[in-house]
Amino acid sequence: LLIGLAGEYMSYFVTPQEYALQHYEGGSTMWGQYAGSLIVDRYGALSASVAADDLTVPSESAGLEALDVPGLHRHFAMGPRRHERRGLRHLDERLHQQLQIDTPMAQLPRLEFETEAPRWSTPTWPEVAVEVRSAEGAWLPLLREDGRPVDHRGEEFVLFPLEAERDRWRWAIWWIEAAPAGQTLRLRAIGPDGSEHCSPAFAAGEVPTVAAVACAEHVQVSVRAEDGLGIVPARP
């Protein structure tokens, strides 16, 4: 794994929190918000593969959870301050223009929802996936040709905050990839606080409602009479 050059460097590996702050390192990385987490994971796996025995070093550190203890007032740089409000104003319009998205914003499959403000001990950004409704009415992950799910780890989504208050953030998610024809789809997001948010069901060419709905809604489960109710007759 190439991580640097003599007398030069190849950008930065950052944590999701550093990426969210968009300071110098997080704003100039070429590798994305999960690069630092990947390096930690790979180094951990490498260390485990060559360790002769349990080499765990005891630590008295409370870890990131210590930053959430009442009395400590450490917050994300983004918040309800005036200059940050200005930065978020019309951010959707600016992103649509800067990313050169051909589809008009109003026609993009998108989702808006509120969550608790991210904390240092939680994920920073929402997770999102596209789900497809099966013939039986169950919602399943939409898969690419190679079998990988269409989710936030790909390049099909734009995720950004619309509002950042001290306790509540409002998010927007755009799906900028063309939806497959003949499928009933929805966007399903998991907020940094673990809350679940879904768009109403939609098909290719339709514009889904922006506001999130309960993910249990619009589930259609078909029951065939010949299947009975799951009761298996006893055999003599």
pLDDT in tens, 56-111: 555 565 555 555 555 544 555 555 566 666 778 888 898 899 889 999 988 899 99
Higher-pLDDT residue of 51 and 3 is 51
What are the contacts of 129-135 at 24+ separation with CB within 8 A?
Answer: 129/187, 129/188, 130/156, 130/175, 130/185, 130/186, 130/187, 130/188, 131/185, 131/186, 131/187, 131/188, 132/183, 132/184, 132/185, 133/183, 133/184, 133/185, 133/186, 133/201, 133/220, 135/222
- What is the structure's pLDDT at 98? 87
Domain ranges in the chain are 1-58, 82-198
pLDDT at position 164 is: 86
Q: What is the pLDDT of residue 232?
A: 46
- Whether the pLDDT of residue 145 is over 80: the answer is yes
Closest CA to 133 of 68, 185, 88: 185
Residue 154 has pLDDT above 50, yes or no: yes
pTM of this prediction? 0.61
pLDDT, tens digit, for every residue of 159-170? 999 988 888 999
Question: When comparing pLDDT for 22 and 137, which is higher?
Answer: 137
Helix and strand numbers, DSSP H then E, in the chain = 5, 7
Could you read off the pLDDT of 191-211 as tens digits, one per residue?
Answer: 999 999 999 999 988 877 888
pLDDT tens per residue across span 207-234: 778 888 888 855 554 545 555 544 444 4
Q: Identify which has the larger pLDDT, 129 or 51.
A: 129
Residue 55 has pLDDT above 70, yes or no: no
